[in-house]
Amino acid sequence: MKKVLLSLFVLIWVAQAGLAQDDPVKAMKKAARDLSAYNLDPDNNADKLEEARTLIDFAAQAEETKGMAKTWKTRGDIYAAPVFKEVTALSLSQGAQKPTTWEDALVAAASYEKALELAQKKFEVKDALKGLKDVTGWLNYFGNLMISHQDYQTAYKILDKVLYYDQLLREKGGEPVLATPEDVNNTKFIVAYTAMLSNDNERAKQLFMELYEAGYSEPGVYANLFNLLNAENDPNALSILEKGRQLFPDDTEILFAEINYYIQEEKYDVLKEKLREAIEREPDNPSVYTALGNVYMNLFNEEYAKNGDSDLAKEYFEEARKYFEQAIKINPEQYDAIYSLGSLYYNNAVEIIKKMNNLGLSKEDQKKYDEYGKLVDELFSKALPYFQRAEVINPSDRNTLIALKEIYARQNNFELSNEFKQRLDRVEQGKKIEKSYFAQ
């Protein structure tokens, strides 16, 4: 008898489910009942939630029910249910795990937005606003959690929607999630920054510009907006950076944005002053010393090409060497400084080789040729240990491999020259050198 009753129950349930899937109104009602069953016992009624989703998605697409606020409010409630459960669990664990239901939260928010659009009665508006407010708050929590887990792209997707739904709540008379203008601007700054990290520079530029026009007191607004505009050759970029400099004269982010600009413009005299200022601000930052060393190396290369081994060229050379060595002293593994110091000697040798190639066949020229040759050998010998150290740090760097190949060829060590030629060929074929030749 029990088997008969059970079979009868199953037949009735299947018939009801089939009928619900054929009738959008019944599907919506059945979805609401399934949600109630799930909420009573979420752990044991997960199947009810899945059925509710199937039914409400059907109702949301059906002509008979897709224009009803109730349909979308119910859909919002169904998709919000697992989000609420996860928010509770994450709160207890203090956000130890990344959120997994953030996409459900976005679906729920979009559903409440649609319910709000279709609402005709006061209670429908009130219910939609409440649902939207709750889910937007959870999205805000999820977005900030994603940042703590360094998932910036997902944080951007979530928090950009928080900005949108918070504004919608204000416009429709609901209670906003971002309670104050400061909260709104803080979230805009985070969204702009994560937009940049997600390669959505247009959205980042839009938000940074809004913050700039609102007078938001954050140096990063000026530095990042400058960088975005400067990349597009916008003539207003520099004026924004200069305003930031006036407002935040001691900020290193703005200072480094200026440095990068003057590097791009090759304005070495201005760069020298900016980089010395940066060294005063960050005396333990090897990158600043390396950058200043590169400024002097460029000045040396220009002066040497024009006037040869002049006193000014010698001064520039010594300044470059000094700053590269200071960077290496701070960080013995500072690749850029190590490679650049090798390049300083190597490039000097290359310039001398050019002069050798322009000499004639006279006795005097041949004598000078031999003198130049000895100097080239000396410079290559000084460059070699730095390129060897650079190769240990980055065995796939093309320029380092070229330098090693040429230096060993100059020293008649054709075995090693050929070794680095083969490595260079592999790199130029798009392959990576996994093991350094000089690593111990």
376-391 pLDDT, tens digit each: 999 999 999 999 999 9
Q: In 248-362, where does DSSP find H-type helix?
A: 252-265, 268-281, 286-307, 311-330, 335-357
What pLDDT is stored for residue 268 in this prediction?
A: 76
User: What's the domain count of the chain?
Assistant: 1
What pLDDT is stored for residue 316 in this prediction?
A: 87
Residue 24 tokens read as: 């959008």
> What are the backbone angles phi and psi of residue 328, rounded to the nearest 5°?
-70, -35
* CATH number of residue 415's parent domain: 1.25.40.10
Range of the domain at 423: 333-349+380-440
Tell me if 431 is assigned to some domain: yes
Tell me if 386 is assigned to some domain: yes
* Sign of the four-CA dihedral 75, 76, 78, 83: positive
What pLDDT is stored for residue 21 in this prediction?
A: 54
* Sign of the four-CA dihedral 300, 303, 304, 308: negative
Range 156-160 contact pairs with CB under 8 angstroms and sequence separation of 24 or more? 156/191, 156/194, 156/195, 156/197, 156/198, 156/200, 157/106, 157/198, 158/102, 158/105, 158/106, 159/187, 159/190, 159/191, 159/194, 160/191, 160/195, 160/203
Q: In 62-121, where does DSSP find H-type helix?
A: 69-92, 102-118
Tell me if 311 is assigned to some domain: no
Tell me if 392 is assigned to some domain: yes
Tell me if 414 is assigned to some domain: yes
Q: Are 218 and 247 in contact (CB under 8 A)?
A: no
Mean pLDDT of successive 10-residue stretches along the chain, which has 440 residues: 43 44 87 93 91 95 95 97 93 86 97 96 96 97 94 97 97 95 96 96 96 92 92 88 85 80 78 81 87 86 84 89 93 92 91 85 86 91 94 93 93 93 92 86
Q: What is the pLDDT of residues 202-244, one digit of tens each?
A: 999 999 999 999 999 999 999 999 999 988 988 888 899 889 8
Residue 247 tokens read as: 């407002």
What pLDDT is stored for residue 440 in this prediction?
A: 59
Residue 174 tokens read as: 């609901």
What pLDDT is stored for residue 8 in this prediction?
A: 40
Distance, CA of 219 to CA of 166 (rounded, Å): 25
Tell me if 341 is assigned to some domain: yes
What pLDDT is stored for residue 96 in this prediction?
A: 81
What pLDDT is stored for residue 17 in this prediction?
A: 47
